[in-house]
Amino acid sequence: MNNFADRLIHQIQRKKSCIIVGLDPRVELIPRSENRRQKTDAQSIAQTLLRFNKKIIDLVADEVVGVKPQSAFYEKYGYRGVKAWWETLAYAKEKGLITIADVKRGDVPSTAEAYAEAYLGKSERDVIDAITVNPFLGGDSLQPFIKLAQVNGKGLFVLVKTSNLGSKDFQDKTLAEGQRFYEYLAGCVRAWGRDLIGKRGYSSVGAVVGATFPEEAKRLRELMPEQFFLVPGYGAQGGKAADVSVCFKPDGLGALITAARSIIHAYQDPTDKNWEEKVISATRQMNKDVTRKHEK
Amino acid sequence: MNNFADRLIHQIQRKKSCIIVGLDPRVELIPRSENRRQKTDAQSIAQTLLRFNKKIIDLVADEVVGVKPQSAFYEKYGYRGVKAWWETLAYAKEKGLITIADVKRGDVPSTAEAYAEAYLGKSERDVIDAITVNPFLGGDSLQPFIKLAQVNGKGLFVLVKTSNLGSKDFQDKTLAEGQRFYEYLAGCVRAWGRDLIGKRGYSSVGAVVGATFPEEAKRLRELMPEQFFLVPGYGAQGGKAADVSVCFKPDGLGALITAARSIIHAYQDPTDKNWEEKVISATRQMNKDVTRKHEK
């Protein structure tokens, strides 16, 4: 199966889950039992993050379809953090999970080519299934990603309407022709994804659509019938189960709901001895809330 | 001097140069004499890139105001590449150059905070003077960068009108109120930079404005009087000396002209034994073409 969307649907149905766990660990929230020495140098923190991520992956693997480590939380610790990020992706891949690298890259074509090779290439580090990309630089800036996704059976999620309040500033702007910018973008994403539609009718070029703006998400669902939505903003950012409902298609597919803090740090208190159970039960609860009701 | 714009102007006047060299090396173009073993594993390539960068820095240091290593060309080689990228920045800093990390990051506020700490923070890796950022996610997504730039005396260059042809797709869109999107953005950048204006009247929040669209650049110069322009697209991408002229203000300041391939690989043929001289003379020629005429 060399189409990302087809592989994704296979995993969603096998796992009976549409949850993607954001692996964005904050070192100060890692359980004391997993971080006894409390060292503060980049090397020690990077190792702590990796160890914690592996534990989280083991805990949630049965309940989720994949993971999404956000690059920023690792880049913060220099190349040592980046190493831990790659090792996290490798471990998740080994455990049979879909891996989404949340990098939001976007650059002029010659540079985008280098980014595409970095994250969608067939190097020794071939542990990524899909990445997030930023469309601000225009169509030609995304072509290297689209091309490599097609050749290597990888996926893309293009930012269309993000979950933050400030997404109103530019993404909601009304264009001279009367459309909102995010609506216009949706048409572009659909066109970019046309050559990557799999056997199940979904494209490997998806869209990032925040759970925090259900009205806009509903409209975007109409405009992008072949797109999988990667939906951030559930849980800690305020998105509710009802809000994400509009992101699903009548076939019960089409949406991947992400949550980070509300899952990986569900226990809240780092001294909590039952932290593992709390991570598991938060994941199960979320799966019940957002996946089960859309099951067909 | 804790304002980036003030430090930048000091360096421009001391060096009599407004050139920023893009350190985006392509391993296949590195002179044979600098890459004898031609190994292809990530570790060897990363070392070759770093060695080459150091040589380029030594060659051009007197003629340029700073360097701008593009992250993509290093991320391509995993964490080993990222390590070489940081070491390149550290070496350039050691040589007294202004360092601009071309990362074009942009994310929701909580994630942007992590990115800001990664690149504008006061960690052991405090070797970056300024970074490029992508504004697509809106004002709140840039606040963590602006705040840290102010506190730590760092600079930002916000993408406004990029040098690629596809920049027309979204950046040139006409908004309902009649402005182009890049014009609207220019107003935002000016507002974001207001609290970071230094003694010389320039803000530490600058803008990326491509040399390939001189008409648009001219308009943007009017709209952003306090902004330094970081101008890509000169040389290999087609921008000419006349095209970049409009990016300068009457005081001869306000623009940093970047070139990568046309400087660092000026010799074109990797077997060229006189490659070092060609790099030096390409840099001198560029300085003559773009800086000297604006000197006051």
Q: In a 3-state reduction of DSSP, which class is residue A257?
A: strand
User: Which of the two residues, B157 and A211, has the higher pLDDT score?
Assistant: B157
Q: Show the DSSP H helices in B128-180 as ranges.
A: 139-152, 167-171
Closest chain B residue to A165 measured between Cα atoms? B140
Contact, A263 vs A274, CB < 8 A? Answer: no
Q: Do A173 and B165 touch (CB under 8 A)?
A: no
- The residues in B 86-125 lying below 8 A from A, measured between CB atoms, are 86, 104-109, 111-112, 114-115, 117-119, 121, 123-125
A contacts of B79 (beta carbons < 8 Å): 79-80, 82-83, 85-86
| Catalytic site residue from A95, A104, A168, A249 | A104
What are the DSSP E strand ranges found in chain A?
19-22, 66-68, 98-105, 130-133, 155-161, 205-209, 229-231, 255-259
Closest alpha carbon to B230 in B205, B263, B266: B205
What is the rounded distance in angstroms from the CA atom of residue B229 to the CA atom of residue B247?
7
The length of chain A, given as a count of residues: 296
Q: Do B123 and A184 touch (CB under 8 A)?
A: no
B contacts of A167 (beta carbons < 8 Å): 137-138
Neighbours of A172 (CB within 10 A): 15
Q: Do A138 and B167 touch (CB under 8 A)?
A: yes
* Strand B205-209 with B19-22, pairing: unpaired
Q: What is the DSSP letter of A224?
A: -
Output the pLDDT for position A127.
96
Output the pLDDT for position B296.
56
For residue B121, give Cα distances in angstroms to A51, A274, B117, B143.
Answer: 25, 35, 4, 14
Closest alpha carbon to B206 in B2, B8, B1: B8
| Residue B131 parent element (H or E) | strand B130-133
Q: Do B138 and A80 touch (CB under 8 A)?
A: no
| Residue B81 parent element (H or E) | helix B78-94
Checking if the pLDDT of A236 tops 80, the result is no
Provide the Cα torsion B140, B66, B162, A230; round to 10°. Answer: -50
| Among A26-35, A54-63, B87-96, the least confident range | A26-35
Output the pLDDT for position A1.
66
- The residues in A 235-274 lying below 8 A from B, measured between CB atoms, are 237
Neighbours of B119 (CB within 10 A): 25
Q: What are phi and psi of A236, to 5 degrees?
A: -55, -35
What is the rounded distance in angstroms from the CA atom of residue B64 to the CA atom of residue A288?
60
Tens-digit pLDDT profile for residues B23-66: 999 999 999 999 888 889 999 999 999 999 999 999 999 999 99
* Strand B155-161 with A205-209, pairing: unpaired
Show pLDDT as tens, one digit a residue, over chain B (296 residues).
Answer: 689 999 999 999 999 999 999 999 999 999 999 988 888 999 999 999 999 999 999 999 999 999 999 999 999 999 999 999 999 999 999 999 999 999 999 999 999 999 999 999 987 779 999 999 999 999 999 999 999 999 999 999 999 999 999 999 999 999 999 999 999 999 999 999 999 999 999 999 999 999 999 999 999 999 999 999 999 988 877 778 888 999 999 999 999 999 999 999 999 999 999 999 999 999 999 999 997 666 65
Closest alpha carbon to A264 in A26, A47, A19: A26
Checking if the pLDDT of A296 tops 70, the result is no
Output the pLDDT for position A292.
63
CA of B115 vs chain A CAs: smallest distance (Å): 5
B contacts of A80 (beta carbons < 8 Å): 79
Q: What are the residues whose beta carbons fall under 8 Å from the beta carbon of A254, sequence distance 6 or more?
A: A202, A221, A227, A228, A229, A247, A248
A contacts of B86 (beta carbons < 8 Å): 78-79
Domains in chain B: ranges and CATH: 4-294 (3.20.20.70)
Closest alpha carbon to B263 in B274, B278, B273: B278
What is the rounded distance in angstroms from the CA atom of residue A67 to the CA atom of residue A284?
15
Buried residues in A6-35 as b, exposed as e (16+ CB within 10 A): bbbbebbbebebbbbbbbbbebeebbeeeb
CA of A70 vs chain B CAs: smallest distance (Å): 8
The length of chain B, given as a count of residues: 296
What is the rounded distance in angstroms from the CA atom of residue B257 to the CA atom of residue A38?
45
Contact, B152 vs B127, CB < 8 A? Answer: no
Q: Which residue among B76, B111, B178 places its CB closest to the CB of A70? A: B111
User: Which of the two residues, A47 and B236, has the higher pLDDT score?
Assistant: A47
Chains A, B: CB contacts within 8 A come to: 190
What is the rounded distance in angstroms from the CA atom of residue A31 to the CA atom of residue A29?
6
Tens-digit pLDDT profile for residues A248-278: 999 999 999 999 999 999 999 999 999 999 9
Closest alpha carbon to A193 in A206, A175, A209: A206
B contacts of A169 (beta carbons < 8 Å): 138-140, 188
CA of B36 vs chain A CAs: smallest distance (Å): 23
Q: Do A112 and B184 touch (CB under 8 A)?
A: no
Output the pLDDT for position A18.
96
Asked whether the ipTM of the predicted complex exceeds the cut of 0.90, the reply is: yes
Output the pLDDT for position A22.
97
What is the rounded distance in angstroms from the CA atom of residue A198 to the CA atom of residue A71?
28
Q: In a 3-state reduction of DSSP, which class is residue A175?
A: strand
- The residues in B 23-82 lying below 8 A from A, measured between CB atoms, are 24, 42, 70, 72-73, 75-80, 82
Q: Show the DSSP H helices in A33-180 as ranges.
A: 42-60, 72-75, 78-94, 109-120, 139-152, 167-171
Closest chain B residue to A134 measured between Cα atoms? B136
CB of B171 within 8 Å of any CB in chain A?
yes
CB of A137 within 8 Å of any CB in chain B?
yes
% of chain A with per-residue pLDDT over 70: 98
Tokens 């308009």 label which residue?
Answer: B219
A contacts of B168 (beta carbons < 8 Å): 138
Output the pLDDT for position A293.
64
Enter the tokens of residue A196.
Answer: 């990557």
Contact, A181 vs A151, CB < 8 A? Answer: no
Q: What are phi and psi of B180, to 5 degrees?
A: -75, 155
